[in-house]
Amino acid sequence: MSSETISHGHAAEASVHSHDSHEAHGHDHHHEESFLTKYIFSTDHKMIGKQFLITGIIWAIIGGLFSVLFRLQLGYPDASFPILEDLFGKWAAGGRISNEFYYALVTMHGTILVFFVLTAGLSGTFANILIPLQIGARDMASGFMNMLSYWFFFLASVVMFASLFIQTGPASGGWTIYPPLSALGQASEGSKLGMDFWLISMALFIVSSLLGGLNYISTILNLRTKGMSMTRMPLTMWAIFFTAVLGVLSFPVLLSGAVLLLFDRNLGTSFYLSEIVVKGEILPNEGGSAILFQHLFWFLGHPEVYIILLPAMGMVSEILSVNSRKPIFGYLAMVGSLFAICILAFLVWAHHMFVTGLNPFLGAFFVLLTLLIAVPSAIKVFNWLTTLWKGNIRFTPGMLFSIGFVSLFISGGLTGIFLGNSTLDIHLHDTYFVVAHFHIVMGVASFFGMFAGVYHWFPKMYGRYLNNTMAYIHFWVTLVGSYLIFWPMHYSGLAGMPRRYTDWSNWQSFNQFQDMNRFISTVAMVVFAVQILFVFNFFYSIFKGRQVKSENPWGANTLEWTTPINPGHGNWPSDIPEVHRWAYDYGKDGREFIPQTEPIGADESKH
């Protein structure tokens, strides 16, 4: 296998690597691939993408289940569920979720979904599957590094999963793990061994992310096929490219933050600790700054939300255009706005810290730069709307989720204009308004982008379709459910209700939302059940789904649809196709679509 590993796209010109044509899928003529090299330690970008996706799905089920558990507490604070005690023992003594358990669930829910699902599961999956297919390469620049990227992610997953079973529980200081809470075992059960596991897992995760990111960047820059200039790339490629740049430049900063925190925890240093009396114990640490960690964390943490969102934006742009049968409106403006978001993403981190005692003068710059992001975001929204305008729309499941994405991106993006304005942030910071904002714009919207991608490229991944009826149920219940869950939260936020409270019943100011909380919890459970339906549809359709009969089922222009229905390692059995035009010639000169591989005709109109 290794001798034949296709990891250098330039060699691809020679086209010696026509592994298996779609006719002979699963029966390799050229060499035997063992189960181990084909499914486990694979260097084929498509298999690695699937590994990321399936690991991401497993994590999403766990992370989603955690949210159902803590929604039980929030919706039914007085009820007792004996089954919880059977399952979780002392963490749910008497069938009620203990405070420590609640905070562990919240923390793990955030960590899992932000990093393991929406970073690894989303860009890991689609960067791997789509980059070589859409730019016309045989594989990633380094197939081996790519494989390592997955296995470091797997290791990170193992460590994080193991932390769930520690006696003192996993990390429980919130996914942002602010010290001193996360630095002092005396301050919280979750800050004992669980926190070390969290930090080690995250360090491994960052290694994975860097290996992947460097690979994505070098592949896109170096391995594009003949004629595929940067400005002819589909928007998915641009989005994934900027995502990788963001990750490569910002994840190392989180690593440094995490390593310093490990030192503070285990080696007695004082990077983040100063003048602390915890549970009556006077600590010797002086001179550190708890705020330093927040700067290091959010220097990744803010780009991180764009690492999550940009690939979704890219895929949605592509899918909207394909299914409107119309070019994406303002291609260059779309690339420009992705670039602007990418740059600004590095310059806004302190808007998470307006109420930490940040210098107000400094804060003013962060307000300005933060609200500046609304401009490229607005351009994107209006361009998407114009793409739909006068189109001829096919509501494939991927298209439904793409339209849902735009709706959610608008709703969640607009509340960002509230929170980015420091004056309002003083009032709304750390209330449910924030919870509603980021869940809609970063959580649910990115999930919609991910679902759109899965439904759209599933035929490419497995040569089969997902079941449409289940897809429609999945879409409509999820769209309606997401709004039902998060829309009312804006109201509790405007009442100042703080997040990360297990129970508001002792508060005069916040106890008026019990019926609303119960409603939200009920809807959350329904939405979760429907996600299980999707997972079922996914695995069932891999084996039993309706078979794809044509190479280009959506009538799309991009290169991945010029490969066989089940492409082997190397993607194209013969030469890599040459590209002659951009990816969005839909509805041009009366033709429904013109693939990128078709040369420009003599009498073709210009645009």
The three-state DSSP-derived secondary structure of 583-600 is CCCEEECCEEECCCCCCC
Task: Spell out, one character per residue from 333 to 372, where the chain touches another protein: x when CB under 8 A holds, - when not.
Answer: x---------------------xxx--x--xx--xx--xx
Span interacting with another protein, options 154-162, 195-203, 220-228, 496-504, rule CB under 8 A: 496-504
Q: Is 173 in the site for another protein (CB under 8 A)?
A: yes
Nearest distance, CB of residue 145 and another protein, angstroms? 37
Nearest distance, CB of residue 140 and another protein, angstroms? 31
DSSP 260-301: HHHHHHHT---SS--S-EETTEEP---S--HHHHHHHHHHHH
Nearest CA among 405, 406, 402, 424 for reference residue 415:
424
For residue 431, the SS3 value is: strand
Q: What is the DSSP-derived secondary structure letter of residue 545? A: S
Task: Spell out, one character per residue from 367 to 396, where the chain touches another protein: x when CB under 8 A holds, - when not.
Answer: xx--xx-xx--xx-xxx-xx-xxxxxxxx-
Note whether 251 and 209 are within 8 A (CB): yes
**Residue carrying the six token digits 């119960």:** 518
Q: Is 431 in the site for another protein (CB under 8 A)?
A: yes
Q: In a 10 Å sphere around its CB, with 0-12 CB exposed, 13-18 middle and 19+ buried, how is residue 516 labelled?
A: middle
Q: Which of residues 9-48 bind another protein (CB under 8 A)?
A: none
Query: Which pair of tokens denotes residue 65?
Result: 């289940």
Residue of the chain from 411, 517, 566, 596 that contacts another protein (CB under 8 A): 411
Q: Is 153 in the site for another protein (CB under 8 A)?
A: no
Task: Spell out, one character per residue from 558 to 597, where the chain touches another protein: x when CB under 8 A holds, - when not.
Answer: --------------------------x-xxxxx-------
| Most distant pair of Cα atoms in the chain: their distance | 84
DSSP 348-391: -GGGG-TTTT--HHHHHHHHHHHHHTHHHHHHHHHHHHHHHTT-
Q: In a 10 Å sphere around its CB, with 0-12 CB exposed, 13-18 middle and 19+ buried, how is residue 10 labelled?
A: exposed
Nearest distance, CB of residue 472 and another protein, angstroms? 7
Q: Is 418 in the site for another protein (CB under 8 A)?
A: yes
CB closer to another protein out of 222 and 231: 231
Q: Is 480 in the site for another protein (CB under 8 A)?
A: yes
Nearest CA among 58, 45, 74 for reference residue 223:
45
Nearest distance, CB of residue 111 and another protein, angstroms? 14
Span interacting with another protein, options 325-333, 451-459, 554-562, 566-574, rule CB under 8 A: 325-333
Nearest distance, CB of residue 159 and another protein, angstroms? 23
Q: Which of residues 269-288 bind another protein (CB under 8 A)?
A: 273-280, 282, 286, 288
CB closer to another protein out of 48 and 74: 74
Task: Spell out, one character per residue from 105 to 144, where the chain touches another protein: x when CB under 8 A holds, - when not.
Answer: ----------------------------------------
Q: Is 607 in the site for another protein (CB under 8 A)?
A: yes
Span interacting with another protein, options 140-148, 156-164, 200-208, 289-297, rule CB under 8 A: 289-297
**In angstroms, rounded to a whole number, what is the distance separating the alpha carbons of residues 67 and 601?**
55
In this structure, which amino acid lies at residue 540?
Answer: Y
Note whether 514 and 538 are within 8 A (CB): no
CB closer to another protein out of 133 and 388: 388
**In angstroms, rounded to a whole number, what is the distance separating the alpha carbons of residues 443 and 247?**
18
Q: Is 539 in the site for another protein (CB under 8 A)?
A: no
Nearest distance, CB of residue 495 and another protein, angstroms? 4
Site size for another protein (CB under 8 A): 132
Nearest distance, CB of residue 82 and another protein, angstroms? 8
Span interacting with another protein, options 199-207, 237-245, 318-326, 566-574, rule CB under 8 A: 318-326
Note whether 544 and 105 are within 8 A (CB): no
Q: What is the DSSP-derived secondary structure letter of residue 547? A: B
Q: Is 257 in the site for another protein (CB under 8 A)?
A: no
Query: Which pair of tokens denotes residue 423?
Result: 């004056």
Query: Which pair of tokens denotes residue 147?
Result: 């494989």
Residue of the chain from 249, 417, 535, 542 that contacts another protein (CB under 8 A): 417
Nearest distance, CB of residue 421 and another protein, angstroms? 4
Span interacting with another protein, options 127-135, 248-256, 300-308, 401-409, rule CB under 8 A: 401-409
**In angstroms, rounded to a whole number, what is the distance separating the alpha carbons of residues 170 and 162?**
9
CB closer to another protein out of 40 and 368: 368
Residue 73 CA from chain centroid, whole number: 27
Show Cβ contacts of residue 586 under 8 Å, excluding neighbours closer than 6 positions.
321, 322, 324, 325, 326, 327, 557, 592, 593, 594
Q: Is 461 in the site for another protein (CB under 8 A)?
A: no
Residue of the chain from 167, 229, 469, 574 that contacts another protein (CB under 8 A): 469
Q: Is 552 in the site for another protein (CB under 8 A)?
A: no
Nearest distance, CB of residue 321 and another protein, angstroms? 10
DSSP 198-262: HHHHHHHHHHHHHHHHHHHHHHHHH-PPTT--GGGS-HHHHHHHHHHHHHHHHHHHHHHHHHHHH
Nearest distance, CB of residue 333 and another protein, angstroms? 5
CB closer to another protein out of 19 and 71: 71
Note whether 544 and 465 are within 8 A (CB): no
Residue of the chain from 85, 503, 551, 598 that contacts another protein (CB under 8 A): 503
Q: Is 555 in the site for another protein (CB under 8 A)?
A: no
Nearest distance, CB of residue 400 and another protein, angstroms? 6
